Structures are given as C-alpha cells and as structure tokens.
Amino acid sequence: MTEVVKVWDDGPVRIVQINRADKGNAISADVAIAIQNAMLEFGQDDSLRCAVITGAGLKSFSFGADVSQLPELWRCIPTVGYTTDKPVIAAVEGWCIGGALVVAMMADLCVTGRGGKFYYPEAKLGLTGGMIAALPGRIPHKIAMELILLCRMIPAERAAQVGLVNEVVDEGKALETAIAWGKEMAGFAPMVMGMLKRVITTEILPRGPSEQWALHGQRLDAIRYGEDAKEGSAAFREKRPPVFRNR
C-alpha cells in the first residue's frame, strides 16, 4: 500500500511530503493524522532543527481537503495540530488550495516554484473550516479579502509581493530551497529562535475563532482521554480514593 505521507530526514531537516500526486495531494483524514504524528515526533527530536512540509510532484502542493474522506484538517495545521518552537517551512509547487493554503499561511516561512497558485474557493463551494480568517493578520487586509471573498487565484509572483510567500524560485526547486534554508537555520541559536517564534505565534499574531476552538478542543481531549480520567472513573466504580498522576 502506498504511503499517503512520506517522511524522511536530510541532516537536521525533517521533510514531510504529502504523497498523493494522483489525487492532487488532497488532504484526507489519514494524511492529516500522518502529518500531525510526523510533526509531533519532529518536535521531540533534539537532533532535528527545522521541518519542511511539501507535496509530491509539480502539479500541486495540495488541492486541500479530500471531500471523499474529510479530515479533521486542524491536525495538520502548524501551531494548531502541533506546536513547536522550531521553524516550519512550506515548500509549494503548483496549486495550493483551500486548507492547504491555510497550512502555507500558518508556516513560519514559505517558498514557491514559479508555477505556484494560491486559491481559496470555499465561498464558491459553500463550506469552510474558518481558519482562513487569520489571513488578514498575515498579509494586507484587502488582498486577503480578495482571496477569501472574490475567490481570486493569486500566482506565485504576486503572492511574494503581498507577503504570502518569502521567495519565488524556479519550478521544481522549492523543496531544495526549503531544505537549504532549514540547514542554514540549523546553525543558529535554537533558544533564541525558539523564544522569538513562541512570542510571535502566541502573543503577536492574531488567532481566529476556529483556531482558538481547535486549540481548546485539544486541551479538553487531553483531559477527556487521559489516564487521570480513566483513573477517576475506575476509582468511582470501585469506591476508593483516586490516584491521579497528571497524565
């Protein structure tokens, strides 16, 4: 069976690649969970200093959520489905649509090939996860509303001009460039970078309602499905004092 997400390391850089080129690298439920797991593992590995999220092939970074197997999309969104003080880079080739645009938007850095196309058509489709509401806090308000309300596609060069991406490179070079950036940052002071990223993402950048809801939901799930919840229920049934372990 083909892996829906490929994960490998290039020195200090973790690469997480959606491997569904035949499906436009659409984010299915399995893809969202696989990305989340790979990134949680990345965050705990001190030998890894930067992560790159990308898609297989040149046609698309991702077409967004797979409507035939709808994901809990928040799972694969940087700072929502996983948090890390280490840099996360989106390497985009081709179409970056819907929820995938949210992934690129929430990454710390983004590089795109010249064929990059950024598109958020949810108003045409009649659905949205709502996290795109954070876009006006990252690029000029009117440009964000053009993407969201007019559903206009923004090509690579204009995406760079408005600050949605950092750099436009030759087609097929986005991943190579992102890995080079990651290796460069691996030589910097991790405590400094981590502190600055943490302050920026938690205290400076705005968080939309959907992002806050997803984060709050994770906190509640950690309690609901934790060992202490099971211990509390067991102690109640067994008519004994519970022994909680903060887990």
* pLDDT value of residue 239: 93
Task: Tell me if 244 is assigned to some domain.
Answer: no
pTM above 0.85, yes or no: yes
Tokens read off for 243: 């022994």
- Reduced to 3 states, what is the DSSP secondary structure of residue 63? coil
Task: Tell me if 239 is assigned to some domain.
Answer: no
The predicted-structure confidence for 115-165, as pLDDT tens digits, reads as follows 999 999 999 999 888 999 999 999 999 999 999 999 999 999 999 999 999
> Greater confidence, 7 or 228?
7
Query: Do residues 27 and 65 lie in contact, with contact meaning Cβ atoms separated by under 8 Å?
Result: yes
DSSP assignment, residue 202? I
Task: Count the domains in the chain.
Answer: 1
Task: Tell me if 127 is assigned to some domain.
Answer: yes
Whole-angstrom distance, CA of residue 161 vs CA of residue 139: 10
Q: Which residues contact 20 (CB under 8 A, 6 or more apart)?
A: 4, 26, 28, 31, 56
The CATH number of residue 57's host domain is 3.90.226.10
Q: Do strands 109-113 and 13-18 pair parallel, antiparallel, or not at all (unpaired)?
A: unpaired
* pLDDT value of residue 1: 52
Task: Tell me if 207 is assigned to some domain.
Answer: no
Task: Tell me if 21 is assigned to some domain.
Answer: yes
* Residue count (the chain): 247
Range of the domain at 80: 5-186
Task: Tell me if 15 is assigned to some domain.
Answer: yes
Mean pLDDT, to the nearest integer, of 83-106?
A: 97
How far does CA 129 lie from the centroid of its chain? Answer: 14
